[in-house]
Amino acid sequence: MKGRKKGGKSRKVMKKILIDLDVVTVHLWDKSSQAEEAGRLIEKLGSKSFEVIVPYTLIELAERWQYVALREKVIGFYKENAKTISVEEVREKLENFGVNDKEIIISLIANCVKEEDAALVIVASLFKVDYLVTFNRKHLRNREQKICDVLSDFNLPRVKIRTPQELLEEQSEEGST
pLDDT digits (tens, 9 = 90+) for 101-136: 999 999 999 999 999 899 999 999 999 999 999 998
Query: For residue 1, what pLDDT is reported?
Result: 40
Say if residue 12's pLDDT is above 70.
Answer: no
The band of 40, judged by pLDDT with boundaries at 50, 70 and 90, is very high
Average pLDDT of span 45-53:
87
Say if residue 138's pLDDT is above 60.
Answer: yes
- Alpha carbons 50 and 145: distance in angstroms, whole number: 24
Q: Please, where are the H alpha helices in the chain?
A: 21-29, 33-45, 56-63, 68-81, 87-97, 101-110, 115-126, 144-153, 164-175
Which residues are bridge partners to 55 per DSSP? Answer: 85
- Alpha carbons 130 and 158: distance in angstroms, whole number: 9
Average pLDDT of span 84-104:
96
174 vs 171, higher pLDDT: 171
Entry pTM? 0.88
- Alpha carbons 85 and 129: distance in angstroms, whole number: 12
Query: For residue 8, what pLDDT is reported?
Result: 52
The band of 175, judged by pLDDT with boundaries at 50, 70 and 90, is low
Ranking 23-27, 45-49, 51-55 by mean pLDDT, the lowest is: 45-49
24 vs 47, higher pLDDT: 24
31 vs 23, higher pLDDT: 23
Average pLDDT of span 17-46:
90
Say if residue 4's pLDDT is above 50.
Answer: no
| Domains of the chain and CATH, by start | 15-171 (3.40.50.1010)
| Mean pLDDT of the residues in the chain | 89
